[in-house]
Structure 1
Amino acid sequence: MKRVRRPDPKRAASIAAALAVLLALPFLLLAPARAQDFNPFNWISDLFKPHEAPAAKRAPEIRRPGGSAAKPKRAAKPEAARAAQSAKPAQPPVEPAYFVAVLGDSLGQMLGQGLAEAFADRPDVAIRRKAKENTGLVRDDYYDWPKAVDELLASGEKIDVAVVMIGSNDSQTLRDGAGGAFEPRTPQWEAAYAARVERIAAAFRDHDIPLLWVGLPVMKNERLSADASAFNDLYRAHAGAAGAKFIDVWEAFATEGGAFSASGPDVNGEIVKLRAADGVHFTKAGARKLAHFVEPDIRRRLDELARLRSPESPGVPAPAEARAPGDETPAAPVEKPIAGPVLPLTGPARAPGGELASRSPALARRNPLQGAPEPGRADDFSWPR
């Protein structure tokens, strides 16, 4: 039987002490101040500690001669960065230079709203909203539109173009100044109504102000729609006779058969609701579409005015024949055409020797495709070969 040798306890203790000294030796040499707190078995407990994010790096403290810590100075920002952070100076607002006066009833108010939206990108264009709700050309005892137009034109307020849309409240009895009362759409009523239309249109014509008279749209109520159609005939005839331009919007808000339609395509082509529930007024999208038919005339007049003002703008030299003697201002460059006249290459010569190129006999002989094809040549299509 083999005898088992027991380990010597003293020897094992000495070996363990030597290992502990070897493990602690680097820490004792590098950090003597922390040697008393060293525990060679701390790594075991560190395995079970939760992970902590590293602390943010802080700028080193600067000690002053007195011993107090001074805060580190921040680096000065460059001039470009400070200029970028500074607020940009606000641009001066553009003053309106073109004025559009919109007159009429509640439909005229909506037309003015649509025109203001249409010209929102033109700060130089101002929409003067002069329309009055619940007014018309019949009840001059409530609001006298011909008189109001005369007062507006006499006030000196600048108006470059005027727009009128009225008539939605005019299906009622008309009373003239002599005490007569005429029922709607009778001959006497139409004569008195047409005289008021002509008076308004003539007032703008006498002041050299272009007038756009917008017709009424189709209505949901059949009686109101019939009256609106008759009113449009009066506007077209009598306002046009006094120099105004009549703009018809009937089909734009009706179906293909001419009936009332509350919905339809807007200015972007999307089907939306255009008319209000009463079948007379417009929604916001409908008001914008209504203005769409007036907008081209206003923009065209704006372009014409810009062309008239362009020769008078500073920096444009006068023509040579209009310059004073001794004026050395360079003349404006003459605009050249993109292309000259078309000259046919095969046409007859207009002068002796005027051909662009003449074919010499030598070139004709060297041309392999000139004359009859030779046997076996590429252009020889005789059959059989």
Structure 2
Amino acid sequence: MHEATIGPYIPFMSAERTRKSFSPRRALAAFLLVMAALVMSAPESFAQDPFSDFFGGLFGGGGGGQRSAPSRPPSQPRVRRMMPHQENRAPTYWRGGEARAPRRAAKRTEGSAATPGAEQTTTAPAVPPSYFVAVMGDTLGILLSNGLQEAFSDKPDIAVLRKGKESSGLVRDDFYDWPKAARELAGGSQKIDVAVMMIGSNDRQTLRQGADALDPLSPKWREIYAARVDAIIAAFKEKKIPVVWVGLPVMKNESYSADMAKLNEIFRDRASANGAVFVDLWEALADERGQYSAFGPDINGQIVKLRSGDGVHFTEAGARSVAHFVASEVKKLYDARKPAEPAPASGQPTATAPAGQDGQPASQTAGHGAPNGAPVVFRSPVEAPVSSAPTLPDRPAIGPTQPLNAVPATAGGELARRTQAAPAADAGAQALTRHVFVEGGDQAPRPNRADDYSWKP
């Protein structure tokens, strides 16, 4: 066939042959070969992550084509930034004993490490605490210490020492001896200004004294329990450290709550006998009927959940509410230690004249005024105040006595007087009155009166 005749059929034959020879596997293999060739011939920065660079360039991101940001140096590796990991923290209302104190945000100081060449900002050092409050007790005491730390967060000079012990009490001294711990704490090197104790939620159990096993809240049990309360208070009283004993709140279980109320009677009695402060929380965490309620007002007056699901412990808001009552007593002791300001010698207001050039009062530098060291007293130039208000006469405290059943006497001794009779009306008026009001008749209408319904011309 002639070349001119065969020529027009060549494209058709090539397309038909290509359609018959197309395969997805061959297309994928060809694509991979092309990408491999690009990787081998591309610079190092593109070879590290060719797919992200290639597709990023297609959609306006980094890689391929024109880049909006300067490219990395060839020696700098690619850094992949991950999302920040959220730390799995324990509930904020439960933070264990002293070893698990709440973490505070670290502040950069002058000695902290910084990036070379970066601008370093220094902050003023925090005020060191000078007043220390030791909070002791069981789990409720630990939660109380958490609330007190938040209550005194605005007072850097007051520090809360967390000295609680989980699952402890005054009955099982073999597990933890609180009288011994109180003596060691009071006589230790750590300064303590106020001791706060909240304990007793684990003490409804048998007390063993030697070979005897005493039933809870029996007479002998109460005697030994009260003696241990006295021992704790005496350990701090010997060191002249005031004690604030916090009572137990109302509980969800009625039987358990009744026993906690009996323990409060022991705490209140021994605190009063030893000069300690007793804080009663029973009514503060109860409803209007004096019964358990898991909800109540917080420090802002909002109704929130104050008690946990077990009906014994506090939530974070509950611990803060309980700390509000205890913090008020601690602040009273804190303010009592401040030196009282001297009162002025007289009731007259005094003021010191401003100093002159030589440091002396201005009145003295001018050649007149009070002697050195004497205050300048300002007095009113008016000798006696003039009052323009009218004065009322003095009234006696008790007025004249008047009997309530006395009849006022009249002239002549008459009880009543006959008044003059009214003049008799004319006969026409009496007849009209009798006709209208007695007989119920109608009165003839008069012109221009309200009952005149005649047509006006």
Cα drift, residue 207 of structure 1: 1.2
Q: Secondary structure at the match of 1:293?
A: helix
Would the alpha carbon gap of residues 284 and 334 (structure 1) be closer, same or farther in structure 2, given more than 3 Å must change? farther
Say if 1:136 and 1:145, in contact at 8 Å, map to a contact too. Answer: yes
TM-score after normalising by structure 1: 0.58
Equivalences for residues 21-40 of structure 1 within 5 A: none
User: How far apart, CA to CA, are the structure 2 residues paired with 1:112 and 1:329?
Assistant: 55
Q: Using a 3 Å threshold, how does the CA distance of structure 1 residues 334 and 257 change in structure 2: closer, same or farther?
A: farther
Quote the Cα distance in structure 1 between the aligned partners of 2:375 and 2:330: 31
Check if 1:202 corresponds to 2:239: no
TM-score normalised over the length of structure 2? 0.50
Contact 1:98 1:160 survives alignment (8 Å): yes
Contact 1:202–1:243 under 8 Å retained in 2: no
Distance across 2 between alignment mates of 1:246 and 1:111: 15
Separation of aligned partners in 2, 1:258 and 1:170:
23
Q: Which residue of 1 aligns with 2:264?
A: 232
Quote the residue 1:164 is aligned against.
197
Instruction: State the partner residue of 1:301.
Output: 333
Go from structure 1 to structure 2 and tell me whether the alpha carbon gap of 1:332 and 1:213 turns closer, same or farther (over 3 Å shift).
farther
Identity score, percent:
53
1:143-202: per-residue Cα shift (whole Å, max 9, x none)?
A: 0000110111121321111110000000000112x3322100110110110110111112
Give secondary structure in 1 for the equivalent of 2:132. strand
Which stretch of the first structure deviates more once superposed, 266-275 or 194-203? 194-203
Mark the runs of 5 or more structure 1 residues left unpaired by the alignment. Answer: 1-84, 312-327, 348-385
* Structure 2 counterpart SS, 1:253: coil
Q: Among residues 274, 281, 285, which one is paired with 1:242 in the alignment? A: 274
1:114 corresponds to 2:147:
yes
**Would you say the 8 A contact 1:204–1:210 is kept in 2?**
yes
User: 2:134·2:195 contact (CA, 8 Å) conserved in 1?
Assistant: yes
**Residue 124 of structure 1 pairs with residue 171 of structure 2:** no
Alignment of 1:134 onto 2:177: no
- Secondary structure of the corresponding residue to residue 307 of structure 1: coil
Partner of 1:174: 207
What secondary structure sits across from 1:275 in the alignment? coil
2: CA distance, partners of 1:136 / 1:206: 22
- Aligned partners of 1:135 and 1:169 also within 8 Å: yes
Q: In the aligned structure 2, how far is the partner of 1:288 from the partner of 1:113?
A: 8
Provide the aligned C-alpha RMSD in A: 2.7
**Residue 343 and residue 305 in structure 1: after superposition, are their counterparts in 2 closer, same or farther (change >3 A)?**
farther
**Within-5 A mapping of 1:1-385:** 87-176=120-209, 178-308=210-340
Partners in 2 of 1:333 and 1:213 — Cα distance? 51
The number of residues matched between the two structures is 242
Cα distance in 1, alignment partners of residues 376 and 228 from structure 2: 53
Tell me how far apart the structure 2 counterparts of residues 293 and 179 of structure 1 sit (CA, whole Å).
Answer: 41
Q: Distance in 1 between matches of 2:165 and 2:375?
A: 51
For residues 220-263 of structure 1, give each alpha carbon's deviation from its aligned partner in whole angstroms, at most 9, with x where no partner exists. 01111011100000000012211111110001111111111001
Cα deviations by residue, 1:269-314 (Å, 9 ceiling, x for unpaired): 0010000000000000000000010111111222222235x78xxx
More contact order relative to length (CA 8 Å, sep ≥ 6): 1
> How many angstroms apart in 2 are the aligned matches of 1:335 and 1:133?
65
